[in-house]
Chains A and B, each alone.
Chain A
Amino acid sequence: AQSVSQHNHHVILSEAASLELGCNYSYGGTVNLFWYVQYPGQHLQLLLKYFSGDPLVKGIKGFEAEFIKSKFSFNLRKPSVQWSDTAEYFCAVLTDSWGKLQFGAGTQVVVTP
């Protein structure tokens, strides 16, 4: 069965620290990859997405992610986090153009001042 794994459930870090969240998926075919963010009390918002082309994608708020096909990974990074980056981050995979998103379990990120 297809699955999406996020390596960390909780991450606590200080402002200005670098962030990297791991995401791996199990599916052998073509995938579209997404990172969504959910700020406290708010709905899911798209941070960035990979469909094809350059495997290093840049998103909003200074986030970027790298698709490594050989590792089935799509890790999210931000060089210097801010307190406002406190949120839950979800990796999601789409294996069928108009089909369902499969989400990872999410990573709760807390940035301390």
Chain B
Amino acid sequence: EPEVTQTPSHQVTQMGQEVILRCVPISNHLYFYWYRQILGQKVEFLVSFYNNEISEKSEIFDDQFSVERPDGSNFTLKIRSTKLEDSAMYFCASIPGTSASNEQFFGPGTRLTVL
């Protein structure tokens, strides 16, 4: 069964450094999402992406964040200058976008630790 994959599973970085989190959505899916979950808190929406552009973003998704689909398979989240409060689990999700089912399929997540 196809699944969403994410790399790395765990990323440790120093405050102020740039990080890129990578996701490979399911191959025929058209809509892509990033969510994050700070330890002990709920899953929060960051951004959605369709047709090579951002379709919606939350107030969390400020100028430090960017997303890109550099090729036909990867979907990346870049944090330009990480802060301590960016430490969280980051989940990528995708949906086909072409059927009545809009179930979002989630990847296993990347745990980002900012020191």
Contacts and interface: CB of A to CB of B under 8 A. Distances in A.
A103 interface: yes
Interface of A: 32, 34, 36, 42-46, 49, 51, 90, 92, 94, 97-106
B103 A34 contact: yes
How would you classify the secondary structure of chain B's contact residues: helix, strand, loop or mixed? strand
23 contacts: A32-B102, A36-B106, A43-B106, A43-B108, A44-B43, A44-B91, A92-B43, A94-B102, A98-B31, A98-B48, A98-B55, A98-B95, A98-B102, A100-B33, A100-B45, A101-B35, A101-B45, A101-B104, A103-B35, A103-B43, A104-B42, A105-B41, A106-B43
B66 to A, nearest CB: 18
Interface of B: 31, 33, 35, 41-45, 48, 50, 55-56, 58, 91, 93, 95, 97, 100-109
A42 B108 contact: yes
Contacts of A32: 102
Contacts of B33: 100-101
Given A43-B91, A43-B108, A94-B102, A99 B48 contact: yes
